C-alpha cells in the first residue's frame, strides 16, 4: 500500500483521470467560520442532535471541521446525497483533487481512508466499473446457504464459551467474532490470522494515532494471503478475484480485497452491535427480536434507516465549482456524505412515527457507481441476521448490565456502534459430548 504517513507520497493532482489538474484552495472560506465539529465527545455522544443542529443552522449541506480542524462539507439531505451519488461529472472520487492537502498533518487519523492509494475506492469511469464487476464476480462464489450454516456454527461455538457464566461483553465475546470467522472462511484466510486481521481492519477506522499503522498491518496480512492464493488457489473470494484480475498490480489486488474485507467485517459487526444495543435498550426492538410483530430482518432494516452503523463516508471531491443545497461548493472541496442524517431527513420522513417496513430505499449501502457491489449487502445481511437469530434463541433473557447512558461509543467518524455491551443472563450449562 502507499505509505500513508507522508503527504509527499500523494501523487500529483495533474495525474487525475479527467486531467483537471491541481486546484488552488480558495483564499479563506467564510462559510466555515460557523462550522460544526465532526469529532469530539459531544458529536460521538449524540450525533443525531448534531445533525439536527447543523441542518437547522445551515440547511441540507453544512460546513464542518474534521479532526485537526480540516474544513469540509457535510451533506445531510437525502435528495442532495442522491444527487451526488448519481453525478460523477461534478463529484469525483479521486482524493488527489482535494484543495486542503497542504493543511493535513502527516499523522492525521483519517488518513488511511482519505489519502490516495490504488484501491478501487479511488478509481473512476471505465476502470472503476471494470474493477467493481470483478469484485461482484468474486463475491458470487459464496453460497449463501453455506455461509449461514457456517455462521450458525460459529455463533453457537462462541456462545458456548460464555453461556455458563451468566455474563458477557457481547462486543468482545461475540459481535466482532462472528463476522471475523465468516470473513476468514469466505476469503480463505488461515484461521490463525483471522483475529489479527480483524483487529487491524477495525482499528484502521478509529479516530486515533494507531489508525495508519493498523491499516498497514492489515495490508501486510492481505499481501501474504494474495501471494498464497496465487500459488495455491482455492474456492474462496481471494482466489477468484486474483484469477480474474490479471491486469491488476499486487498493490491494487491488496487494496481491493481490503475494501471488500472492511465491508464484510467492521461494517457488519457494527450492524450486529447496533441492533443488539437497541434490543437491550428499546422495548420495541426487544419485542421484535423476541419474535413479536416483525422478523429480525425487518428490525435490521429499521436499524439501517434510523441508526445507520456506517453513518458517514468520505464522499466526493468537487470536480468543478457548483451549488449544492444552497451552498457554494468550490472545485476541490471535500464533501462527506452523512448517510445517517440523509436516511432521517425530515423532508423524507415528515411523520416521525411512520414505520420503515418494506422500504429499502435507505442509503446505508450508499448507491450509484460507488455503492456496495452486487451481492455484498446480501452477504452482510446473512451474517448479521444469523448472528442475531442464534443469540436471541440461545440467550433469550439478555439484560444490559449498565445504564444505557453509560454505554460508550466507537471513536470513529465512519462507524456508529457501542464499544462495549456488558450483559447478564440466566446461565446455561453446556453438556460436553
Cα–Cα distance for residue pair 409/396, rounded to 1 Å? 25
- Average pLDDT, stretch 161-188? 94
Q: Is the pLDDT of residue 142 over 50?
A: yes
Name the strand (E) or helix (H) holding 31: none
Domain map of the chain by residue range? 7-424
What does the pLDDT read at residue 11?
A: 38
pLDDT mean across residues, the chain:
86
Dihedrals phi, psi of 70, to nearest 5 degrees:
-90, 125
- Average pLDDT, stretch 392-418? 89
Nearest CA to 139 out of 277, 66, 240 is that of 240
- Average pLDDT, stretch 395-407? 92
pLDDT bracket for residue 101 (50, 70, 90): very high
pLDDT bracket for residue 14 (50, 70, 90): very low
pLDDT bracket for residue 400 (50, 70, 90): very high
Query: Measured in whole angstroms, how far is the alpha carbon of residue 128 from the centre of its chain?
Result: 19
Q: Is the pLDDT of residue 28 over 50?
A: no
For 267-293, the pLDDT digits (tens) are 899 999 999 998 888 877 776 666 655
* The model's pTM: 0.85
For 42-87, the pLDDT digits (tens) are 888 889 999 999 999 999 999 999 999 999 999 999 999 999 999 9
Q: Are 182 and 387 in contact (CB under 8 A)?
A: no
Q: Are 413 and 205 in contact (CB under 8 A)?
A: no
Burial of 404 (0-12, 13-18, 19+ CB in 10 A): exposed
Nearest CA to 67 out of 411, 417, 419, 420 is that of 411
Dihedrals phi, psi of 138, to nearest 5 degrees:
-65, -40
Distances 53 to 61, 77, 148, 313, 416 between C-alpha atoms, Å? 12, 13, 41, 20, 19
- Average pLDDT, stretch 330-354? 89
Strand, coil or helix: 386: helix
What does the pLDDT read at residue 324?
A: 98
pLDDT bracket for residue 426 (50, 70, 90): very high
Query: Measured in whole angstroms, how far is the alpha carbon of residue 1 from the centre of its chain?
Result: 20
Report the DSSP beta bridge partners of residue 64: 36, 72
Please state, as a whole number, how many other Cβ atoms lie within 10 Å of the Cβ of residue 430: 10
Q: Is the pLDDT of residue 94 over 70?
A: yes
- Average pLDDT, stretch 198-223? 85
Sole residue written with cell 470483478:
134
Strand, coil or helix: 239: helix
What does the pLDDT read at residue 65?
A: 96
Distances 96 to 11, 104, 124, 126, 319 between C-alpha atoms, Å? 7, 13, 12, 18, 11
Nearest CA to 385 out of 201, 152, 225 is that of 152
- Print burial letters for 208-241: b (CB count within 10 Å at least 16), e (below 16): eeebbbbbbbbbebbbebbebbeeeeeebbbbbb
| Tally of CA atoms within 13 A in the half-sphere of 65 that contains its CB | 14
pLDDT bracket for residue 8 (50, 70, 90): very low
Spell out where 135-279 has E strands.
167-169
Cα–Cα distance for residue pair 363/308, rounded to 1 Å? 9
What does the pLDDT read at residue 223?
A: 95
CATH hierarchy code of domain 7-424: 1.10.630.10
Task: List alpha helices for 266-401, DSSP H.
Answer: 266-281, 283-289, 296-306, 339-343, 376-394
pLDDT bracket for residue 19 (50, 70, 90): very low
Cα–Cα distance for residue pair 104/150, rounded to 1 Å? 43
Amino acid at each position: 500500500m502507499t505509505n500513508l504517513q507522508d503527504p509527499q507520497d500523494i501523487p500529483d493532482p495533474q495525474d487525475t483521470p479527467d486531467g483537471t489538474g491541481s486546484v488552488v484552495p480558495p483564499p479563506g472560506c467564510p462559510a466555515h467560520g460557523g462550522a460544526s465539529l465532526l469529532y469530539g465527545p459531544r458529536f460521538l455522544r449524540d450525533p443525531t442532535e448534531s445533525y439536527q443542529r447543523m441542518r437547522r443552522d445551515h440547511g441540507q449541506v453544512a460546513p464542518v471541521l474534521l479532526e485537526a480542524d480540516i474544513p469540509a462539507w457535510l451533506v445531510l439531505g437525502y435528495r442532495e446525497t442522491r444527487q451526488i451519488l448519481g453525478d460523477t461529472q461534478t463529484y469525483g472520487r479521486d482524493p488527489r483533487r482535494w484543495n486542503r492537502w497542504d493543511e493535513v498533518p502527516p499523522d492525521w487519523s483519517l488518513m488511511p481512508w482519505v489519502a490516495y492509494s490504488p484501491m478501487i475506492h479511488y478509481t473512476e469511469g471505465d476502470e472503476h466499473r471494470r474493477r467493481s464487476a470483478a469484485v461482484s464476480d468474486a463475491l458470487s462464489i459464496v453460497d449463501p446457504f453455506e455461509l449461514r450454516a457456517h455462521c450458525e456454527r460459529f455463533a453457537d461455538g462462541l456462545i458456548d464459551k460464555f453461556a455458563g457464566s451468566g455474563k458477557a461483553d457481547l462486543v468482545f465475546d461475540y459481535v466482532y467474532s462472528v463476522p471475523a470467522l465468516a470473513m476468514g472462511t469466505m476469503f480463505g484466510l488461515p484461521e490463525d490470522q483471522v483475529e489479527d486481521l480483524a483487529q487491524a481492519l477495525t482499528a484502521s477506522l478509529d479516530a486515533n494515532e494507531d489508525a495508519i499503522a493498523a491499516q498497514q498491518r492489515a495490508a501486510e496480512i492481505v499481501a501474504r494471503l494474495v501471494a498464497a492464493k496465487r500459488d495455491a488457489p482455492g474456492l474462496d473470494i481471494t482466489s477468484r478475484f486474483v484469477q480474474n484480475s490479471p491486469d491488476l498490480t499486487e498493490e491494487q489486488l491488496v487494496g481491493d480485497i481490503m475494501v471488500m474485507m472492511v465491508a464484510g467485517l467492521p461494517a457488519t459487526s457494527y450492524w450486529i452491535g447496533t441492533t443488539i444495543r437497541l434490543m437491550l435498550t428499546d422495548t420495541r426492538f426487544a419485542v421484535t427480536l423476541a419474535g413479536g410483530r416483525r422478523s429480525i430482518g425487518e428490525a435490521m432494516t429499521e436499524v439501517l434507516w434510523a441508526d445507520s452503523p456506517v453513518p458517514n463516508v468520505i464522499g466526493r471531491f468537487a470536480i468543478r465549482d457548483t451549488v449544492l443545497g444552497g451552498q457554494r461548493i468550490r472545485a476541490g472541496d471535500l464533501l462527506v456524505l452523512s448517510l445517517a442524517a440523509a436516511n432521517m431527513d425530515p423532508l423524507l420522513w415528515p411523520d416521525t412515527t411512520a414505520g420503515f417496513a418494506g422500504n429499502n430505499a435507505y442509503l446505508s449501502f450508499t448507491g450509484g457507481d460507488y455503492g456496495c457491489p452486487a451481492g455484498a449487502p446480501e452477504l452482510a445481511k446473512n451474517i448479521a441476521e444469523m448472528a442475531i437469530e442464534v443469540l436471541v434463541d440461545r440467550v433469550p433473557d439478555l439484560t444490559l448490565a449498565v445504564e444505557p447512558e453509560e454505554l460508550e461509543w466507537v471513536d470513529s467518524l465512519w462507524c456508529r456502534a457501542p464499544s462495549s455491551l456488558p450483559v447478564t443472563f440466566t446461565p446455561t450449562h453446556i453438556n460436553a459430548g
